[in-house]
Amino acid sequence: MKKWIVGICIVFVIIGLIIFGISYYLFKYAETPTNKGFIKSETASVELKRENEWLNRIKKLNWELTSDDNLKLKAIYVPAEKKTNKTIFVAHGFMGKKESMVRFIHFYHDQGYNVIAPDARAHGQSQGKYIGYGWLERNDNLKWLNKVIDYQGTDSKITLFGISMGGATVMMLSGEKRLPVQVKVIIEDCGYTSVADELTYQLKQMYKLPKIPFIPVASVISKFKAGYSFYEASSIKQLSKNKLPVLFIHGGTDKFVPTEMIYKNYAATKGPKDIFIVSGAEHGNSFTKDKSGYTKKVTHFLEQYFN
């Protein structure tokens, strides 16, 4: 009888170690800034080369601040050609950096706005051991927004724009009580509903593994190691507290952040809203796929609620 009990205990211990091992691997792969084989680098093109050349020669300021947990964070601030108090805050995606948002920096600059584009923690030139998926970054970005206001004055007007993880970041910012009153509009492109939902989807897509028990265990590990759980990092929960105008954009054939997530985010917000699905666009590719339609939708939304 005792041998039977010992055998059962050993089996449970082995199963527990396997679950913990897989969950820890999931946490490390998801939250540490290492090379991700599933992320395709954008192929260099003549257009992209021109965009980068433009960014190199345009007048800009290099900004730095220290996060609440003592990380050195970097950003660029591109002033408009004609002085204005209107600024677009641009948030990049997972494993991106401020320079990877050059098309949008150029686009909004051409519209006559100042643009601030930070490197998220653990990305680009910013310090950080773990990726916050928008949840940790929301506190960093509150500091960037206050820096803009300190620089431009209290009459500043700010639009939040983000793509992919950046889209989730601005949605997670939307529900913050400390969000400055100078923030007037939010535009998100292909952001996820929550970190738990996105990692559950990726776990199934990449490894054919179920949510239970791996996501809950990895979430507990994240709470201890990185300071947040997958479940608290929720765009939906934050949007439910938001009353600002939000434009939701998504590619119609997004297989990285599934298109269906946009409808849940759209339903959650309490403020004025609009939705734009780009047919045939993959993840983060809506602007390139339908630049004319994208431009028309965004400029109309800004004219309606920002200008």
**Single-letter amino acid code for the residue at 125:** Q
Whether residues 100 and 203 fall in one domain: no
CATH number at residue 277: 3.40.50.1820
Asked, for residue 262, whether it belongs to a domain, the answer is yes
Domain end point (choices 185, 208, 231) = 231
Cα–Cα distance for residue pair 250/189, rounded to 1 Å = 6
Whether residues 183 and 269 fall in one domain: yes
Whether residues 125 and 227 fall in one domain: no
Q: For residue 282, how many other CB atoms are within 10 A of its CB?
A: 16
Q: How far is CA 75 from CA 8, 53, 125, 200, 270, in A?
A: 55, 18, 9, 31, 31
140, 67 contact by CB (below 8 A): yes
Q: In 32-94, where does DSSP find H-type helix?
A: 46-57
Whether residues 75 and 155 fall in one domain: yes
Whether residues 181 and 205 fall in one domain: no
Maximum Cα interatomic distance, the chain, rounded to a whole number of Å? 84
Strand pairing class (183-189; 114-118): unpaired
Whether residues 9 and 92 fall in one domain: no
214, 203 contact by CB (below 8 A): yes
Q: In the chain, where does DSSP find H-type helix?
A: 2-31, 46-57, 102-110, 135-152, 165-174, 195-207, 214-225, 235-239, 261-268, 286-289, 291-305
Whether residues 92 and 5 fall in one domain: no
Asked, for residue 78, whether it belongs to a domain, the answer is yes
Whether residues 261 and 173 fall in one domain: yes
Residue 194 has what DSSP assignment?
B
What are the backbone dihedrals phi and psi of residue 102, each rounded to the nearest 5 degrees, phi first?
A: -55, -40
Asked, for residue 130, whether it belongs to a domain, the answer is yes
- What's the first-to-final CA gap in the chain, in angstroms? 78
Domain end point (choices 186, 215, 231) = 231
Asked, for residue 128, whether it belongs to a domain, the answer is yes
How long is the chain? 307
Strand pairing class (72-78; 86-91): unpaired
Whether residues 150 and 82 fall in one domain: yes
Domain end point (choices 231, 252, 284) = 231
Domain count, the chain: 2
pLDDT reported for residue 177: 94
Among 135, 35, 139, 47, which residue's Cα sits nearest to residue 95?
35
130, 122 contact by CB (below 8 A): yes
Whether residues 161 and 271 fall in one domain: yes
107: containing domain: 60-194+233-307
Three-class DSSP category at 57:
helix
Whether residues 167 and 185 fall in one domain: yes
Q: Read off the pTM.
A: 0.94
Whether residues 69 and 143 fall in one domain: yes
- Please name the residues in contact with 91: beta carbons below 8 A apart, sequence gap of 6 or more: 101, 118, 120, 137, 141, 160, 161, 162, 163, 165, 166, 167, 169, 170
Among 112, 108, 75, which residue's Cα sits nearest to residue 189?
108
Asked, for residue 266, whether it belongs to a domain, the answer is yes
Asked, for residue 54, whether it belongs to a domain, the answer is no
pLDDT reported for residue 16: 84
Asked, for residue 132, whether it belongs to a domain, the answer is yes
Asked, for residue 42, whether it belongs to a domain, the answer is no
pLDDT in tens, the chain (307 residues): 567 677 777 777 888 889 999 999 999 999 998 876 655 655 557 787 898 899 999 999 999 999 999 999 999 999 999 999 999 999 999 999 999 999 999 999 999 999 999 999 999 999 999 999 999 999 999 999 999 999 999 999 999 999 999 999 999 999 999 999 999 999 999 999 999 999 999 999 999 999 999 999 999 999 999 999 999 999 999 999 999 999 999 999 999 999 999 999 999 999 999 999 999 999 999 999 999 999 999 999 999 999 8
Residue 186 has what DSSP assignment?
E
